[in-house]
Amino acid sequence: MLKSKNMLTLKGQRPTSRSDSVESDLLLWWEDFYVPVFEYILPKMGILEGKKGLELGTGTGGTATLLAKRGASVIGIDLLPFRLAEAKARVSEHNVAESVNFALMDAMHLAFPDNTFDFIISKSVLVFTEHAQTAKECYRVLKPGGKAVFIENMRYHPMVWLYRKMFLKYSTKLRYFSIRDVETVGAEFENLEHREFHLSAVGALFWRKCIAIPALYRTSLRLLKAIDTSLLKCFPFFKRFCWITAMICHKD
Ligand SMILES: C[S@@+](CC[C@H](N)C(=O)[O-])C[C@H]1O[C@@H](n2cnc3c(N)ncnc32)[C@H](O)[C@@H]1O
């Protein structure tokens, strides 16, 4: 398998199969921060070959493409027609158009029969919805034994909170996640695993957004990510102040 320049490997190993590396260019933005999240969720999703999945709020289709490249067939839904047009172009560009279909649909009212999908995934979408209602709909359309994976933005990271206050006017309308919100979503399923990401690592963005020194950015990011891993392991209390949460919800 060829390794593209945008393909990062799990824990720096050589990729040995198409499921053990993450194409960072398909994560679309903040990819340095989403690669570890996908490295966490992809092994938990298991073998995707031949599986039928639903992506809520597919946007420009990066995640649907990534999963289709691993052999899944995916339906991507979104509320915005122009996003779906961009997503269609993306899947064609990556030669997975036959594995991905799109539909204009609200994640809170899914027009699919019960027990349809092997997996459901969404990234930065539940914040736009009423969490429990969306989780209920996902539970309904998920097959028994299926998993719903929700990657979401958390509420209380101090720097991210300040950034939203200063630059994202619409952020006041979004339902960012607290640990309690994570548990609310999980309560709609039989089992919930979740992991939180990025506390001090967000500080590395100083060397990208404020003073752009790529070498310092890369070094500080690597160092701060390692610090976060140890810190969160020793002091789970700090999970609530992370930037991103990944929930894996199981239906029995
Ligand atoms: C922040 S973008 C994330 C896009 C994509 N998941 C990604 O990570 O690149 C949120 C997307 O969710 C879509 N969205 C918001 N509310 C939705 C809803 N109720 N049902 C379906 N899609 C929704 C928006 O139109 C937008 O494309």
CATH number of 100's domain:
3.40.50.150
* pTM for the structure as a whole: 0.90
Domain membership flag for residue 34 = yes
Going from the C-alpha of 198 to that of each of 1, 40, 103, 183, 210, the distances in angstroms are 31, 13, 33, 19, 19
Domain membership flag for residue 183 = yes
Regarding the beta carbon of 62 and ligand 1, being less than 6 Å apart is answered: yes
**Residue 11 reports pLDDT greater than 50:** no
Domain membership flag for residue 56 = yes
**Residue 29 reports pLDDT greater than 90:** no
Q: Could you tell me the two tokens for 184?
A: 């609310």
Domain membership flag for residue 236 = no
Task: Tally the domains of the chain.
Answer: 1
Regarding the beta carbon of 66 and ligand 1, being less than 6 Å apart is answered: no
Domain membership flag for residue 233 = no
Residue 122 structural domain: 7-198+243-250
Mutation pick for ligand 1 pocket among 128, 171, 175 (CB with most ligand atoms within 8 Å): 128
- The confidence band for 20, taking pLDDT boundaries of 50, 70 and 90, is low
Mutation pick for ligand 1 pocket among 29, 30, 65, 79 (CB with most ligand atoms within 8 Å): 79
**Residue 141 reports pLDDT greater than 70:** yes
Per-residue confidence (pLDDT) for residue 21, from 0 to 100: 76
**Residue 14 reports pLDDT greater than 70:** no
d(CA 185, CA 182): 5
Residue ID of nearest Cα to ligand 1 atom 9: 59
**Residue 12 reports pLDDT greater than 70:** no
d(CA 122, CA 131): 12
Contact 196, 232 (CB under 8 A): yes
**Residue 5 reports pLDDT greater than 50:** no
Q: Tell me the per-residue pLDDT of 224-234, one tens digit each, with 9 for 90 and over.
A: 999 999 999 99
Dihedral angle computed from the Cα positions of residues 106, 249, 29 and 173, in that order, rounded to the nearest 10 degrees: 50
Residue ID of nearest Cα to ligand 1 atom 12: 57
Closest-lying ligand 1 atom to the alpha carbon of residue 108? 19
Q: Tell me the per-residue pLDDT of 121-133, one tens digit each, with 9 for 90 and over.
A: 999 999 999 999 9
What is the distance in A from the centroid of ligand 1 to the CA of 231? 32
Cβ burial of 237 (10 Å; 0-12, 13-18, 19+) is exposed
Cβ neighbours for 193, distance < 8 A, ≥ 6 positions apart:
44, 247, 248, 250
Domain membership flag for residue 225 = no
Domain membership flag for residue 191 = yes
Closest-lying ligand 1 atom to the alpha carbon of residue 106? 20
Give the residue from 81, 76, 194, 188 showing the smallest Cα distance to 125: 76
Per-residue confidence (pLDDT) for residue 1, from 0 to 100: 30
Cβ burial of 216 (10 Å; 0-12, 13-18, 19+) is middle
- Residue 186 sits at φ, ψ, to 5 deg, of -60, -30
Domain membership flag for residue 172 = yes
